Amino acid sequence: MNLVIDCNVFISVCLGSDTCRAAVEHAHVNHQVCCSLATLQELESTLLKQKFQKAWFQENALHLLAMHKRYGRVITPVALGFSMPDPKDEIYLATAMAGQADAIITGNLKHFPPLLCGPVRILSPRQYLTETRHDCSR
């Protein structure tokens, strides 16, 4: 399974979400995670913002960045040719389409209308874990 993980999921991991942490770790261990230079740049700039300067947050952020850079497959996104409800999310869909991703894992399901996403499924971290853990146990 090819996946793209939205920045908000990584932020939730750093803020202590066990579900998001499990989803990110499961994705990197069991599936191919796609990213682009633009998604990596957004992730790094967001996680290292001044408002997140707590030591425990930064420790988690640096670990996640290193893991994502090491195991993520960096691809060049395609031009979408249309706008998304939140323009900041366009790079994630563009990356998913270029990487032929099966799904995007995000906490902002409403930002990815199914009619715009084509064959790319939009899953919450919990949905992703429920579906893929079930598949792995067969």
pLDDT > 50? residue 96: yes
Which CATH number is correct for 2-136, 2.60.40.740, 3.65.10.10, 3.40.50.10190, 3.40.50.1010?
A: 3.40.50.1010
pLDDT > 90? residue 116: yes
> If you average pLDDT over residues 115-131, what whole number do you get?
95
How distant, in Å, are the alpha carbons of 17, 104, 109, 121, 132 from that of 39?
Answer: 21, 13, 18, 18, 24
Give CA–CA dist 90/94, Å, rounded.
6
> Where in the chain are the domains?
2-136
DSSP at 101: -
Q: Are 32 and 3 in contact (CB under 8 A)?
A: yes
> If you average pLDDT over residues 113-123, what whole number do you get?
94
44-64 confidence digits (pLDDT tens): 888 777 666 777 777 778 888
98-108 confidence digits (pLDDT tens): 999 999 999 99
pLDDT > 60? residue 137: no
